[in-house]
Amino acid sequence: MPKELIQVVWTRQARESLNAILDYRYKEIPSARKIVRKDIIEASKQIVFVEQYQKDEIFPQYRRIIVRDYKVIYKEQNGIAYILNVICTRAGKDTITKIP
């Protein structure tokens, strides 16, 4: 039986990445910024089971949720899903170097 999660926690890195992406891509379009932010946050709230989403192809030790042009990277520890980073998938693999 799949392991259920107790809660979802966003790390500082993930919050900062999300805000930086939104500031950069939607600075001139506040209404779109709000919609994309809501979509990404809501997707993270949909995590119910640890293995619900795919392993990431670049960082296979983590799982990912794809939302629009973004990957929400997370890992499970002691029943908690930690959102580690938000990455724009339009960026090339060479620009994605680490996850805390």
Domain residues for 29?
7-94
Q: What are phi and psi of 59, to 5 degrees?
A: -120, 80
Judged against a pLDDT cut of 70, whether residue 48 lies above it is answered with yes
Q: Is residue 81 part of a domain?
A: yes
**Structure confidence at residue 94 (pLDDT):** 43
pLDDT in tens, 67-95: 999 999 999 999 899 999 999 988 655 44
Please say whether the beta carbons of 52 and 66 come within 8 A.
Answer: no
Asked whether residue 2 is assigned to any structural domain, the reply reads: no
Whether residue 99 is contained in a domain is answered as no
pLDDT band at 1 (very low <50, low <70, confident <90, very high): low
**Residues 81, 83, 87, 93, CA torsion sign:** negative
Contact indicator for 17, 96 with CB cutoff of 8 Å: no
